[in-house]
Amino acid sequence: MAKKKKNIFERTYPRFWRDFIYTKVAGSILVPRPYRWRLLRALGMDVQQSIIAPGSYFSDRRIHIAKNVGINTGAFFDASDDIWIEEDVYMGMGVSIITSTHEIGPSRKRLGPGATAPVRIGRGTWIAGNVTILPGVTIGAGCVIAAGSVVNKNLKPDGLYAGMPARRIKDLEPGEDRDDAVNVAGDAALAQ
């Protein structure tokens, strides 16, 4: 059987259709929240039953979302490498998970070769709005990450982290009430 010849549009924009389906169709407000995870799964992502708000950007299929995950509007997933999100993780608006970067080149051209590293987010973690998670990070189970934080290194389980870069500001007991942690996270963000 002869291989179908790609048209000029497919040759010029090989990722266009995939990006269009992931972002514009699956991320559309026209797809009800209870069905969005099903559509992403049908498109080849490893997604279990979860709530994914409209307006999120998924760059590739290398995203693994366990059951009972909540992703608020405007999340950005750079899946140049694998992103693993375990059960009961919740993300605020505008969270960015980035798996690609570049090495620093010589002075004539500082943008060096590209590099990727996976990101893993442990069970029960709460990531507040506008948090940025950088390549190669593993976030331990049961963490709370304050709004606007930048996570550039691994985080140990059951801790409240805040800042740029994120640092541990409080130990959380497994099963501790998250409302108390929210107040501490807000106070820490205001103090910086």
Active site residues: 102
As a whole number of angstroms, the longest Cα–Cα distance in the chain is 66
| Strand runs labelled E in 25-124 | 46-47, 51-52, 57-58, 63-65, 70-71, 76-78, 83-85, 90-91, 96-98, 100-104, 111-116, 119-121
| Strand runs labelled E in the chain | 46-47, 51-52, 57-58, 63-65, 70-71, 76-78, 83-85, 90-91, 96-98, 100-104, 111-116, 119-121, 126-127, 132-133, 138-139, 144-145, 150-151, 159-162, 167-171
Give the span between the Cα atoms of 94 and 96, in whole angstroms.
6
CB burial string 154-184: b at 16+ within 10 A, e below? ebebbbbbbbeebeebbebeeeeeeeebbeb
